[in-house]
Each structure stands twice: as structure tokens, then as C-alpha cells.
Amino acid sequence: QLENPEQFPEQERGWEPVMEREHFRLWRRPIPGSALFQYRVFGSYTDVTPRQFFNVQLDTEYRKQWDSLVLKLDVVERDPATGSEVIHWVTQFPYPMYSRDYVYVRRYSVDSDRNLMVLVSRAVEHPGIPEDPEHVRVRSYESHMVIRPHRGFDENGFDYLLTYSDNPQTVFPRYCLSWMVSSGMPEFLEKLHSAALKAKKMELEIRDYLSPAKGPEPCGAAQLEYA
């Protein structure tokens, strides 16, 4: 859609550029019926492999090391048939706002024939994770990441496209919230990139999500019918 917008007029309507840097572009468009925006990022890296970048995104234990804003990040439930996982994520927000907590289901796919990797997340309800008065529960959240290697999954170089929206339920003015997202997203993606580089350089033991093995089951794993 990004490369041939004329073929997707409805999907491509309304995007406005917010930021452009070398190998990084950010757009936004209003979400109808709200004061919120949907965001889209297109970027490229040439010094890390798609597999490393993909795995670092998915490895919740490693993220606790490199993302200083994480207060809690756990896989609550996993469906062995599909690989779908329910995640509970608590993250710090800038002072004086309360921290936010997210309960979301994520699912990933690797298409070797089309040379693509996809990671999709969205907010869900889960009976085992009640709201905590110390955090603000975010109930509207969606994230779609598509990674396209320049060559193969294990060779340096890839493009990625991230489409993202959430409702952090803040009373901050719209322009403040827009600034937080448009400045915070590039910062997060650069931290993710740096973490992938560090894992590569230090040969850290990161779980390989491209391998057939699904890994150990969390307690209470079941079919994620509500997802």
C-alpha cells in the first residue's frame, strides 16, 4: 500500500507526514469519532538481521533488561496451536501521570515464500488480570508490524512498517499527547534497534521465535477463545 497508494485509495486516505529522517518516516491520521490518531512508521536498518530484530521484539524477558520503562511484562497465557500469546504489560508514563497497563494478545507469522515477517497485537479482556487501582488500564490498543528482509532472514538489512494506535486515557491536551507519541515512537524503535545490535554483538541468548518449537507453556495455558 505504501509503495502503490493509488491502488489502495481508501486505506491510504488521510495520512499526513509528521517526521522524516534518514531511513525513518512517520505519519498520522485522525481516528474518526475521537480526538486520537493512528500512526504509521516506515524505516530501514542495514546493520542487523530481520531474525534478530523480530526475536528481540518478542522476547519479553530480554525487554525487561533494555526497556527501562517496563514495570511488568509477562506472558499470561499461550495457545500452542496458533502461537498466540496474552501479554500483561505495565509501563511508566511521564510524571505526573499514572503508569499504564495493557492486556493484549499478540500473534506472529513468518512467510518464507513472500519473504515477510508479521507481528500483530491488540487489546483484549482477560479474566485472570483484573484492573489495578495503581495503574490506568488501556483498553484500546492495536499494533501491526511488517518486516521485509532486503535479502534473507539471517542477512543484515530490512525494511519495516509499523501501524499503531492506542487510547492512553489521559486528560492531557491533544497536542501534548500527539507530541508524546511522535517523539516517543522513534525513541522506542531506536532502543529496540540498539537492543538487537547488543544481542548480536554480545551473542546473548535470545529465544528464536522463527524455530518450530513453541517453548514452555505458561501456567494455565488454554485455547484463547476470547482472543
What pLDDT score does 196 carry? Answer: 93
Integer CA distances (angstroms), 134 to 72, 89, 129, in order: 13, 14, 14
Would you give per-residue pLDDT tens digits along the chain (227 residues)? 777 777 777 777 789 998 888 889 999 999 888 878 899 999 999 999 999 999 999 999 999 999 999 999 999 999 988 889 999 999 988 777 789 999 999 999 999 999 999 999 999 999 999 999 999 999 999 999 999 999 999 999 999 999 999 888 776 666 565 655 656 778 889 999 999 999 887 766 677 887 654 443 443 333 343 33
User: Is the dihedral angle over the CA atoms 120, 148, 70, 37 positive or is it negative?
Assistant: negative
Whether residue 223 contacts residue 122, with contact meaning beta carbons closer than 8 Å, is answered with no
CA nearest to 199, candidates 27, 36, 54: 54
Region of 179 please: left (phi>0), alpha (psi -120 to 50) or beta.
alpha
pLDDT at residue 185, rounded to an integer: 78
Q: CB within 8 A of 188, min separation 6: which ones?
A: 67
pLDDT for position 81:
87
Interaxial angle between packed helices 174-202 and 50-58, expressed in degrees from 0 to 180 and rounded to the nearest 10: 120
Pairing state of beta strands 85-91 and 70-78?
antiparallel
Q: What is the pLDDT of residue 188?
A: 87
Q: Indicate the domain borders of the chain.
A: 16-200
What are the residues facing 163 on neighbouring strands? 40, 144
Top-level class of domain 16-200? alpha beta
pLDDT digits (tens, 9 = 90+) for 30-77: 988 887 889 999 999 999 999 999 999 999 999 999 999 999 999 999
Q: Are 165 and 31 in contact (CB under 8 A)?
A: yes
φ, ψ for residue 82, nearest 5 deg = -115, -15
Task: Tell me what pLDDT residue 212 has.
Answer: 53
